[in-house]
Chains A and B, each alone.
Chain A
């Protein structure tokens, strides 16, 4: 479904992502993990088209999409959330989600119905008419997810949507993701909560200082000495 080849991003002097390649199979959940500043979000931005790579290619459904605009990629079925949430602050929650739904339909009433359904699935029905600017942090996270879902993605990319959520809210998202996977949606997620990563992902990719240091099934990755040393070990020590 998704294949990235030798992606590299240099910011004046700093190599944020260095020659990273990996793939995500259709209908699977792939997790991208790594310490702060490892280059995960930068990777996402290159896949979604928000940042142009210095080097490398992004293949989606066997097509090279490296040169396409973000809106074109979304049209092709690739949707993302932003780590730093970006609600459309002058609009209501429902209208936010409708913008995403209107990508696939020209009918406002169809889009409105779909948006309501999606809001219900993430438990935000009661917030539908509120201003997106007035939401609490967990609700903003949910709104990010709802907006991305509204575009009916084939590949859904989630940048730390569960960070800062209470266990119960995170569980709700986990349930949504499991349903999506069952319906054939491919998911790529950045997540720090290892418990969630281990329970959801078929495949884990570990980045550290812009380089990929591991790529494999969850059990393999957590046994990898480099991963333990650079990421899990440190987290373990901190906990």
Chain B
């Protein structure tokens, strides 16, 4: 199949998918809209995390740090100072990408790699959680609550509103982040990311400034994750250190991109579509059966199945089925 036909198919199927998502709130109620929004948030963080792991080759197990801080920044600015999230989001992005740069700087500057880098990211996230659990200003373990939405609320100003509002807002954010990341991984920077991912020393021998390139991945990934956290805060209305900064959060967010396919742009989206509903079902089944942690067991099983059956993830497999894959020999870098 020629390249342009493949591209046309990709655009066509992508548009249909987007159209369905745009029309879906007309036929599903608030409960499902909220669940779909959770899928979008999971996909958004997955896209960001995958930028670091799948494209630049850095394993972060502490993305809760950026998610949680992004959430708290947006929530605190809105609640304590009455500032619009229109301001909160940019500040949240700057703060979290700054944190990503700091963690990255410490890791890359001192040659902390692989598993040790992952431990470093966990340490930072856990430190932040402990700090927030003992910090009066952010409400300690008691959490932070956003006041209820006022009757004269104007969603486009407060960025708060109904389930339908969040649905479209987070969908737009995710779409934007997806397009941005798609642009980045195809750019010169994207080539350098994949080069350092595959072999950092060989990349440096080709003149790739590995340190800077790695830092950029960490900063951008962290910033996007912070934005996702901000939407979570607005939508949820309450934040607890454990629920946004906890270790569980970091782990939950990496399941989707792994299941969907590392180093692919659509993998995190497909992964979120699989993982979030499954998690929801397992939670309900667990409650009904009195089996706590059934969802974790399910995650484990799902990961196991994927690793055995489709080690590259579900997306490359599905893309092949839909005849969406580009050059079959190269890695699934397609959308």
Contacts and interface: CB of A to CB of B under 8 A. Distances in A.
25 contacts: A48-B205, A69-B204, A71-B204, A71-B208, A71-B209, A74-B204, A74-B206, A74-B207, A75-B207, A79-B206, A82-B205, A88-B194, A88-B195, A88-B202, A90-B194, A91-B198, A98-B191, A99-B208, A102-B188, A102-B192, A106-B188, A129-B327, A147-B202, A148-B206, A150-B206
Contacts of A75: 207
A57 to B, nearest CB: 21
Contacts of B202: 82, 86-88, 147
B329 interface: yes
A49 B186 CA distance: 29
Interface of A: 48, 50, 69-71, 74-75, 79-80, 82, 86-92, 95, 98-100, 102-103, 106, 108, 111, 129-131, 134, 147-148, 150-151
B329 A90 contact: no
B134 interface: no
Interface of B: 186-188, 191-192, 194-195, 197-199, 201-210, 263, 327, 329-331
A99 B206 contact: yes
A130 B329 contact: yes
B329 A134 contact: yes
> Which of B186, B194, B202, B204 gathers the greatest number of chain A CB atoms within 10 Å?
B202
Contacts of A150: 206
A50 B330 contact: no
A87 B194 CA distance: 12
Nearest to B213: A71
A74 B208 CA distance: 9
Nearest to A48: B205
A102 B204 contact: no
Counting from the closest, the 7 A-B pairs by CB-CB distance are A103-B207, A74-B207, A86-B202, A88-B198, A92-B330, A70-B204, A100-B206
A48 B205 CA distance: 8
Contact of B329 (A48, A74, A131): A131
Given A98-B191, A108-B187, A108-B188, A129 B201 contact: no
Contacts of B191: 95, 98-99, 102, 108
Contacts of A71: 204-205, 207-210
Contact of A99 (B187, B195, B209, B329): B195
A116 B60 CA distance: 36
Given A90-B331, A95-B191, A102-B192, A70 B198 contact: no
A208 to B, nearest CB: 27
A89 B206 contact: no
Contacts of A130: 329-330
Contacts of B195: 88, 91, 99
B330 A95 contact: yes
Given A71-B209, A71-B210, A91-B198, A99 B203 contact: yes
Contact of B206 (A50, A90, A103, A134): A103
Contacts of B188: 102, 106, 108, 111
